[in-house]
Amino acid sequence: MVNKNIIIGILVGLHARPASVFSKTAKRFASDVKVKYKEKIVNGKSAIHIITLNAKYGAEVEIIVDGTDEDEALEALTQILENDME
């Protein structure tokens, strides 16, 4: 299992489009993906669950990945959250 704390660099936060991109990317990997914000942990392969976190620009979230391709998944998902999509 690997995890990393990330500061959200997406100006709109984890809104519908970024959550969709994140979950679609997470689904490409065999590893289990979770996203933690404050005390809530959700399935990183579900855009709806990610949206419920209501994490805004500048918020710190934790990505938790567990599985055979966890390092590659963590790197790809980190890139999504750290960089604005515009």
> pLDDT digits over 21-63, tens only?
999 999 999 999 999 999 999 999 999 999 999 999 999 999 9
Q: What is the pLDDT of residue 54?
A: 96
Q: Is the pLDDT at 81 greater than 80, yes or no?
A: yes
* 86/84 Cα distance (integer angstroms): 6
Average pLDDT score, the chain? 96
Q: What is the domain count for the chain? A: 1
For residue 39, the domain's CATH number is 3.30.1340.10
Nearest to 29 by CA among 71, 81, 80, 79: 71
Q: Is the pLDDT at 17 greater than 80, yes or no?
A: yes
What is the extent of the structural domain holding 60? 2-82
Q: Which residues are known catalytic residues?
A: 15
Q: What is the pLDDT of residue 86?
A: 58
